[in-house]
Structure 1
Amino acid sequence: MHSVIRWALMVAAVAGVAACKEQKSAPQRDPSVEKGESAESAKAPASVDVVIIYGSEKKTWLEESVKNFEAAKKTTAAGRPIKIRAKAMGSGESLTAIVNGTDKPHVFSPASSAYLSLLNSAYSQKTQRTKPIAPAGETVVLSPVVIAMWKPMAEALGWPKASVGWGDLLKVNLDPRGWGSKGFPEWGRFKLGHTHPEFSNSGFLSVLAEAYAGAKKTRGLSAGDLENPATKKFLESIEGTIVHYGTSTGFFTDKMIARGPSYMSATVSYENLVIESYQRNPPQPIIAIYPKEGTFWSDHPYSILDADWVGKDEREGAEVFLKYLKDRPQQERALALGFRPGDAAVAMASPIDAAHGVDPKQPQNLLEVPDASTLEKLLGVWRETKKATDVVLVFDKSGSMKGKPLDEAKRGAKGFLDVLSERDEVTLVFFDSHIYPAIGPTKIAGGGREKLAQRVDGVMADGGTSLYDAVDMAYAEITKRAAGERGKIHAIVVMTDGKDEGSKMSLAALKERFPNEADAPIKVFTIAYGEGASSEALEQIAESAKGSAVRGSVETINRVYADMAAFF
């Protein structure tokens, strides 16, 4: 599977090579003996380091398990201590890192087995290897993919007496009255959130479930089904309800709770996140909808890779840790955190219950994960049917950006353009002490991506930082189009490395420019670049315009831009 994300190379530091060579050429005194250490301590066996890349959805549980595992001082049969080096990553980004060779884990534990199939396909295409790199593995925990919805809205659709599905959501969206068609005009239109399917498991499975619903099937989804105009139309209609995309499933739950029902009617999530929401006092209870057309288990496989970097000792260490994860104490802890145990012998109990918005008897209708070629086709069809984006990229070219900061920011901005789809449009706004005329809007297709990248490449650093005026100008620029294009995501992405130095507009006045409503038609996303950037001001701008704020550095700006592009 082709991916647009390029992640940093994970480098393992190797020390003492020269010292080892010296020891071979001449006898050396044992420093441990000189310090009074025992001979047994000096000759303690080296540890076996097991590297695991895992889906970030189970971060809390896995981190606790790693800590307790190492406290238990588990060893291999030969007595070597086993150390677990666990790294949480989105399922899509981790797949890319393994295929590209930037990460070489011994164990791959994504949120869904679908990613094992995609990894095997992508790795085979790159290396011409026929044997799968990722065996099926074992499930360590389970959580069904659900539609997390405000309880009053779910009740308006007939829940819990009637089963609710994608078709019911689509009817509300297609009706010009929106929620008024159900007797609640004050709720406005139906608004959905799900993660970007090329970055995140929940977004990927969401689009797959939508495709099954559109094809009116539960098994055997094919490339032909995906090309069917009726399926595409269904996908396009559901995706048209999207507020924006993103990389983190938890982000949508967080923002639903913080901003309330007017920001988002529902989000595609995991059952465990619905359960978790009950600890956070949301404005209304959130419940789990198990779509009547069918859904998937997020089955969290633990796959010990069949790769040349996985040695006998690493494999043994990985197997010991797997057995530990499947033991009852760890499985009961997973249950307490809202996951269903991977071990069927552990009985279902609270918090998998109605008091936490979920149904232990669901899901009743499970969908089949198709083969890798169909999954890859799905992503191609999604790019054709996703909600298009109109984004203004506001780029700080002030004098403080000179040198490497500007070079890396340019690379990040061009990487941002690479992630966008052919149907998206971009406007560039450069600023320093002055606000320069907008370039665009330019459609990404037809050479637009390259033209925009050339303009980014040509930027030279100079002058001060009129940040607020630049955001105001960008907002005015995109407002002209937003009113007549409700079917697009309209957004501004702002990157600056400094504080406002000379704007005519104050921060307070800029914030007043944005509608004081969760359903803001134009959302602003901000990047504080480096230590000199005013994070507080940028966070206020992003929250006022119902976007999101992040911080980046010279070392991380490329990744930050890639994460930002996942909103679109």
Structure 2
Amino acid sequence: MAVAPSSGNRQWLPYTAAVTAGLVVIAGAFLLVRGQDQDPGRPRADCTVTLEVNSSTEKAALVAGLAERYNSADRTLDGGGCARVHVTALTSGKATEVLAAGWTGTGLPRPQVWLPTSSLWTGQLRLLDQAAGRPPQTPDRYPSIANSPLVIAMPKPKADLIRQRGALGWGEILGLSGREGWAGFGKPEWGRFTFGKDNPNLSTSGLAATIATYYAAVQRASDLTRADLADPKVTQFVRRIEANVSHYSDDVVDLLRDHAEADLAGGGASTDDLSAVVMQEELVHLYNEGELSPKGDGEQRGRKPNVPLVAIHPKEGTFNLDHPYVVLPTADERQRAAADDFLTFLTDKDQQAAFADLGFRDHERRAPDELLASVGTEPTGGLTYFDPPDPGVVDAMLDGWGTLRKKANILIALDTSGSMEAAIGNRTRFQVASAAAAKGLALLNPEDRVGLWSFSSETSQRPDGPYREEVRLGDFDRKKVTSRIANLHVEGSTALYATVRAAHRQLLDRYDPDRINAVVVLTDGKNEYTRDNDLARLLADVALDPERPVKVFCIAFDRDSDLATLDRIAKASSGKAFDATDPAMIDEAFVKLVSSF
């Protein structure tokens, strides 16, 4: 979850989905402390002070490695003695939630130091504390241990063309191309201009991108107000930018990994409809260094992409993810001394070099030459940074974003084959799936257009074909869709390919260029329909048309699901497959899915 619950009526995505909140986990060897000659050695055994540190997930392995180095160093605290630092990890959103709830239910030691991705989180925790009538845990502004500004990342040929126009702003890059697309830049063969961003309800970078858009709209770098949010010129500006979103991501790293795989397979040719992605600068560096590319056996990193990404900095300025170092009220006097010493250690040049190796700027926002060489130069005179808005303004912004975001046409295809009768505890697979679907429907925008199909194979209930329209694609009637799901009959085998093909064709026939157009498939099995079992033809049929992108999103439900094939189908359309092969994860999978719309 990105921010605190509003006092209004906004439907908030469950905090249990916070596995994707903040900057996502970037697994792999590059999270280790690389490029350093120092040997951590053995930790000292005579230290009586323990300092518990909880870090956001994207830098947790790095901070843990640096803590090991600290524990092995010959350091003495003010007043004598030494400390041992222990690091745990939670996403920033989850940590905000549990700090507000008294740090219960995590199974992790309560921290004295918190390292979220952004000071946005300290503001949201302050809101939660105020709402509960207790003293704030995060009343201050805090020093940074690293920084990563938000950028518009584009493939180099497109970035080079954009830069020929000189300094451009958020609206000029992301909001003015629209249907004219790249023809306005003399490249009609590049098609429409669309971009990707994370859903701000799940992601720190997605939230930062939304804040940056509002600041660009008011043409200021500070003091964003509630009155600004209600200004029709501001809402029109934001709506124009959101209209060019291809689809919202729950995990920009997954998007970049798919892009890297397609780059290497196609010799650099793009297979998706994205002209740009709004994300943190750090990830541009990791992508260009091959850290997000497929890795071979024994390789620590993949091949560098054929076409690198370039970071573009809009002329109005950008938002910075400041990675604050927060000492919490739970720290006693000796732990505060240890926290001060660990902060000094983290901001020393050797440790800052480890952050730089992952693409971060240093604690004073300075970019190493190697980073700029990897991601592209910044404007003469440096970057302009937007100040974090008041937490209450952020909350109100997200209340309003639901009405400004791009709307969707969503056709849901729900597997009703006989295997859905299999038991999961004291319920059937179908009961678990339909309950998760109902929760997911509650998170959709009321202005979305939604249809429902059921599919299995020809049965006595469905003699004319393997799929049936249960609710016609149209204005979203949540009660009608939920009721129809609850009354579906389970029987037959799984006609997966025929259903995906037909659903995709229907959305092409009813394509709306002003909406995200998507097929959502929920299945517990693999294709068992002999009349249509040609996967290669299906992949060709659903292959993305950048001019009319219809994307397929799949949830592989239960271990009998053919996740590998569903992933191929989704990737062919530039969609995504979500792994709920452990049925306990299906609610989380639906939250991730809904964040795409």
Q: Distance in 2 between matches of 1:190 and 1:384?
A: 22
Matching residue of 2:281: 271
Q: How far 1:123 moved relative to its partner?
A: 3.7
Q: Given residue 490 of structure 1, which amino acid in structure 2 is its aligned partner?
A: N
1:245 is paired with a residue of what secondary structure? Answer: strand
> Aligned in 2, Cα 1:461/1:147: closer, same or farther, shift over 3 Å?
same
Q: How many residues align?
A: 521
Q: Distance in 1 between matches of 2:114 and 2:442?
A: 27
1:139 is paired with a residue of what secondary structure? Answer: coil
Q: Which deviates more, 214-223 or 180-189?
A: 214-223
> Aligned in 2, Cα 1:473/1:438: closer, same or farther, shift over 3 Å?
farther
Identity between Structure 1 and Structure 2 (%)? 28
Matched, 1:549 2:549: no
Q: Determine which of 5, 9, 14 is the counterpart of 2:14.
A: 5
Matched, 1:50 2:55: no
Q: How far 1:59 moved relative to its partner?
A: 4.7
Q: Determine which of 236, 240, 243 is the counterpart of 1:233.
A: 236
> Aligned in 2, Cα 1:313/1:250: closer, same or farther, shift over 3 Å?
farther
Matching residue of 1:292: 315
Tell me the alpha carbon deviations over residues 318-370 of structure 1, each in whole angstroms, 9 at most, x when there is no partner.
556544433332211111221111157xx753312245424386643221222
8 Å Cα contact 1:348/1:360 also seen in 2: no
Q: How far 1:314 moved relative to its partner?
A: 7.0
Q: Distance in 2 between matches of 1:8 and 1:204?
A: 16
Matching residue of 2:208: 205
Q: Determine which of 400, 410, 422 is the counterpart of 1:381.
A: 400
Q: Given residue 509 of structure 2, which amino acid in structure 1 is its aligned partner?
A: K
Bigger Cα Rg = 1
Q: How far 1:60 moved relative to its partner?
A: 5.2
Q: Given residue 110 of structure 1, which amino acid in structure 2 is its aligned partner?
A: P
8 Å Cα contact 1:150/1:287 also seen in 2: yes
2:16 is paired with a residue of what secondary structure? Answer: coil
Matched, 1:416 2:440: yes
Q: Distance in 2 between matches of 1:63 and 1:412?
A: 36
Q: How far 1:148 moved relative to its partner?
A: 0.8
> Aligned in 2, Cα 1:97/1:239: closer, same or farther, shift over 3 Å?
farther
Q: Given residue 390 of structure 1, which amino acid in structure 2 is its aligned partner?
A: N
Q: Distance in 1 between matches of 2:391 and 2:198?
A: 20
- What is the TM-score normalised by the length of structure 1? 0.82
Matching residue of 2:115: 109
Q: Given residue 365 of structure 1, which amino acid in structure 2 is its aligned partner?
A: T
2:480 is paired with a residue of what secondary structure? Answer: helix
Matched, 1:187 2:211: no
RMSD: 3.2
Q: How far 1:282 moved relative to its partner?
A: 3.0
Matching residue of 1:301: 324
> Aligned in 2, Cα 1:204/1:503: closer, same or farther, shift over 3 Å?
farther
8 Å Cα contact 2:64/2:87 also seen in 1: no
Q: Which deviates more, 546-555 or 499-508?
A: 499-508
Q: Distance in 2 between matches of 1:250 and 1:177?
A: 29
Q: Distance in 2 between matches of 1:497 and 1:84?
A: 38
Q: How does 1:99-498 map to 2 (within 5 A)?
A: 99=100, 103=106, 106=111, 107-125=113-131, 127-133=132-138, 135-159=140-164, 162-170=166-174, 172-174=176-178, 176-259=179-262, 260-261=269-270, 263-280=273-290, 281-306=304-329, 321-342=342-363, 348-359=367-378, 363-401=382-420, 402-404=422-424, 405-433=429-457, 434-444=466-476, 448-459=477-488, 461-482=490-511, 485-498=512-525
Matching residue of 1:27: none
Q: How far 1:178 moved relative to its partner?
A: 2.0
Tell me the alpha carbon deviations over residues 17-45 of structure 1, each in whole angstroms, 9 at most, x when there is no partner.
xxxxxxxxxxxxxxxxxxxxxxxxxx999
Q: How far 1:235 moved relative to its partner?
A: 0.6
Tell me the alpha carbon deviations over residues 45-95 of structure 1, each in whole angstroms, 9 at most, x when there is no partner.
9995825141x44355335335545666999977785432223x2x44543
Tell me the alpha carbon deviations over residues 375-432 of structure 1, each in whole angstroms, 9 at most, x when there is no partner.
1111122111110011122222333333334343233222322322222222222223
1:499 is paired with a residue of what secondary structure? Answer: coil
8 Å Cα contact 1:194/1:252 also seen in 2: no
- What is the TM-score normalised by the length of structure 2? 0.78
Matching residue of 1:501: 528
1:220 is paired with a residue of what secondary structure? Answer: coil
Q: How far 1:288 moved relative to its partner?
A: 1.2
Q: How far 1:153 moved relative to its partner?
A: 2.0
Q: Given residue 65 of structure 2, which amino acid in structure 1 is its aligned partner?
A: E
8 Å Cα contact 1:275/1:357 also seen in 2: no
Q: Distance in 1 between matches of 2:83 and 2:282?
A: 36
Tell me the alpha carbon deviations over residues 434-493 of structure 1, each in whole angstroms, 9 at most, x when there is no partner.
42323233544xxx33333333344564432222222223223323321xx101001112
Q: Given residue 275 of structure 2, which amino acid in structure 1 is its aligned partner?
A: S
8 Å Cα contact 2:523/2:561 also seen in 1: yes
Q: Given residue 294 of structure 1, which amino acid in structure 2 is its aligned partner?
A: G
Q: Given residue 403 of structure 1, which amino acid in structure 2 is its aligned partner?
A: A
Q: Distance in 2 between matches of 1:139 and 1:467?
A: 50
8 Å Cα contact 1:290/1:363 also seen in 2: no
1:352 is paired with a residue of what secondary structure? Answer: helix
8 Å Cα contact 1:4/1:418 also seen in 2: no
Q: How far 1:266 moved relative to its partner?
A: 1.0
- Show structure 1 runs of 5+ residues with no match: 11-42
